[in-house]
Amino acid sequence: MGIHFDEKKQTFSIDTANSTYQFQVDRHGFLLHLYYGKKISGNADYLLKYLDRGFSGNPACLINDRTFSMDVLPQELPVWGSGDFRSPAFVVEKEDGTRSVDLKYVTYQIRKGKYSLPGLPAVYVSDEEATEAETLEIVLEDSVLSLEVDLLYGVLPKLDIITRAIQIKNKGADTVYLDKLMPASLDFITGDYDLITFHGRHTMERLMQRVPINHLSQRIGSRRGASSHQFNPMLIAAKPETTDSFGDCYAMEFVYSGGFQAEALKDQFGTTRVQMGLQEEGFHYPVAFGETFTSPEVILSFSRDGFDRLSHNLHDVIRQHICRGAYQYQPRPVLVNSWEGSLCNITRDSLLSLAREGKEIGLDMLVVDDGWFGNRDDDNTSLGDWYANEEKLGGSLAQLITDVNRIGLKFGIWMEPEMISEKSHLYEMHPDWALQIPGRIPIRGRNQLVLDFSRKDVRDYIYDRICDILDSGNIEYLKWDYNRSIYDVYSEGVTHQGRVLYDYMLGLYEVLEKLVNRYPHVLIEGCSGGGGRYDAGMLYYTPQIWTSDNTDPIDRMLIQYGTSFGYPASTMAAHVSKSPNEQTGRVTPIQTRVIAAMYGSFGFELDLSLLTKEEKKAAGEEVKKYHRLERLITDGRYYRLSDPAKDKFCAWSFVSRDGAEALVNAVVLKLQSNDELFYVRPKGLKPERVYKEINTGECYDSDLLMSAGLPLPKESGEHRAYQFHFILQQ
């Protein structure tokens, strides 16, 4: 395993436990992609064929060689201006508007450890793991532009993970503008592939979609200034026959929380190109003499054993090498959030009552959501005025925190630091701090504007206000929300507005990094109207994210199913809410709501006083159960056992790493009279062994369970849910 360079053939091979990634410096100094897939020992350069193809131009350095064209060859970094008319990964513009890049290989370096990216989230390794991880740096140069482009490859061989990022260094006198930058671009010379993406909308995020990659450009992305509810910055390219348990598949996952785009297309000669990087609309980033631009990175992984293994690779790298801090591995508090129970209409009495109800059923934390600050009685005012409303809280925030702690619960709080209301003291003092175009009435979302986090004075002010709040008492959790898209991009004092959105994200990451370092004991949960910014970039700072504003357990089956392809259960915040559900009006049993919420980081989001005595007793037992099972759920191997978009039930399981314990969950989605029996087939159990189901005491042959399955009880009543806890018998 590791990175190897064949001097004779000028070929780089990156070997992980089960994959090989290979590319070559050709005789003209171009970097040509050769292979990515199952681990190999040979050199794949024989796959390259040189033919005269009509209307495919030839590089200037070749003069009369018509058999060589970048329009046909697979490349490591396809650029605009090389004669390649397919989708470029790198577009540079000069002051005069011309676009042309001619990159040639200069040198390389292989070093131990994983590279880091200044000001950006990235996969990291500990000092102990640095001897196993490696970095490959390839230096390319355009001599006319005096532009150096460094390709960075990070390798975590045991996890079958390769990362890619790019640094652009301007060594010339003239400023250049980056108009497109895709840190990861893969060319598959042959074969048919499906494209799997995760689309959606607010309250229905990350719905899986699978379509063939054809002779057309298939593009997803976000122009919203955030990774978005509409598309997730993660995709899979898979052979048509690939399933959860079988077949070749490749993942790309962007470690970035702003606008992105990804594209897949099959070209005129059958080569498939898949790319991921920054959203190009609105991106026109100046790089002056002596400056360096650093891109976010893309996580790559390959599995020849289907989507389960691919998901395990991604889960491991996210949990072990993206998430950080005290809550990376330790149990998360089981909390109750005030939002669905009270909205903005909180009072001291209602909050303390909710805390007492929570303590009664064994919860760990009360989270005070919206309505505690400024004149915030609804969502039309006061964002930016981060001062406790002592009249509403019946005293200081510090006193409320103390009283909640005395009841026996930890205290958490909600904030939306990136936003500003026009009805606020902050806006009266600093209207220029909001992103809005001079001379135009701003487009509003949720009747609020976005603070300009590309400005240092804005960042410093908001950071200080957050610190004042967190320092006011024993606050152990911060829910960081973001409830609109960015429309009007203009920052005062900036010459080139094409840099603002990217600088905004760098500014956000700067504030989050300072908070993580100053408050290592505080669990920060990310949120953007639920799952509108659910990405690896945010997980670097917030180890869990509110999966969706939709808490309906049946809808959550689809949402959490799609999320599971790229993100571990430990990152999914999932809560039990009231019935009928606030978003859908659907009526579901308390057991179903509990099992659906045990998909990830568990909690409650309702007025607990509305539960019946029997429901409170059941909820208390489920809280105890979750505390017993939390390690299995957050650190066990996750398996999808059905497809909720097609099947009448949704089933999933968590299996301990040693195979000694498994939790199998199932929710019935559709019920018909005199229906067939539903069989759930567990995965990941040890073969030829016996497992005991601890609720019934029955023992089962593991191979029979995995082959024939376990029948779900035949019961009347909609949306029943079941949970089976298996223990390996010695």
* Amino acid letter for position 240: P
Per-residue pLDDT, 109 = 98
Rounded CA separation 99/101 (Å): 7
User: Does the pLDDT of residue 173 top 90, yes or no?
Assistant: no
Architecture per CATH, domain 649-728, reads as: Sandwich (2.60)
Which of 65-69, 257-261, 272-276, 473-477 shows the lowest mean pLDDT across its residues?
A: 65-69
Count of Cβ atoms closer than 10 Å to residue 467 Cβ = 14
Assign 101 a pLDDT band (cuts: 50, 70, 90): very high
pLDDT tens-digit series, residues 284-323: 999 999 999 999 999 999 999 999 999 999 999 999 999 9
User: Does the pLDDT of residue 65 top 90, yes or no?
Assistant: no
Extents of the domains making up the chain: 2-319, 335-546, 649-728
Q: What's the full length of the chain, in residues?
A: 730
User: Does the pLDDT of residue 63 top 80, yes or no?
Assistant: no
Closest CA to 200 of 176, 225, 227, 182: 227
Question: Over the range 85-121, which residues count as b (16 or more CB within 10 Å of their CB) and which as e?
Answer: ebbbbbbbbeeeeeeebbbebeeeebeebbbbbeebb
Per-residue pLDDT, 634 = 94
Per-residue pLDDT, 62 = 80
* Continuous segment of H or E residues that includes residue 478: strand 475-480
Residues above pLDDT 90, as percent of the chain: 93
The CATH number assigned to the domain with range 2-319 reads 2.70.98.60
Assign 728 a pLDDT band (cuts: 50, 70, 90): very high
Q: Are strands 475-480 and 410-415 parallel, antiparallel or unpaired?
A: parallel
* Residues with catalytic roles: 535, 615
Q: What is the mean pLDDT of residues 74-91?
A: 95
Rounded CA separation 726/684 (Å): 12
Rounded CA separation 251/195 (Å): 10
Structure tokens at 148: 């150096």
Q: What is the mean pLDDT of residues 102-119?
A: 97
Q: Is CATH 3.20.20.70 correct for 335-546?
A: yes
Strand partners, 37: 20
User: Does the pLDDT of residue 64 top 90, yes or no?
Assistant: no
Structure tokens at 34: 């050769």
pLDDT tens-digit series, residues 664-698: 999 999 988 888 999 999 999 999 999 999 999 99
Per-residue pLDDT, 57 = 86
Say if pTM beats, i.e. exceeds, 0.85: yes
Count of Cβ atoms closer than 10 Å to residue 347 Cβ = 14
Per-residue pLDDT, 127 = 85
pLDDT tens-digit series, residues 611-655: 999 999 999 999 999 999 999 999 999 999 999 999 999 999 999
Q: What is the mean pLDDT of residues 192-207?
A: 98
Per-residue pLDDT, 428 = 98
pLDDT tens-digit series, residues 219-256: 999 999 999 999 999 999 999 999 999 999 999 999 99
Rounded CA separation 314/240 (Å): 21
Structure tokens at 689: 């062994």
Count of Cβ atoms closer than 10 Å to residue 131 Cβ = 10
Rounded CA separation 622/628 (Å): 10
Q: CA distances (Å), 246 to each of 306, 310, 679, in order?
A: 4, 11, 20
pLDDT tens-digit series, residues 520-559: 999 999 999 999 999 999 999 999 999 999 999 999 999 9
User: Does the pLDDT of residue 569 top 80, yes or no?
Assistant: yes
User: Does the pLDDT of residue 730 top 90, yes or no?
Assistant: no
Closest CA to 580 of 556, 555, 605, 552: 552
Q: What is the mean pLDDT of residues 483-497?
A: 94
pLDDT tens-digit series, residues 334-352: 999 999 889 999 999 999 9
Per-residue pLDDT, 673 = 87
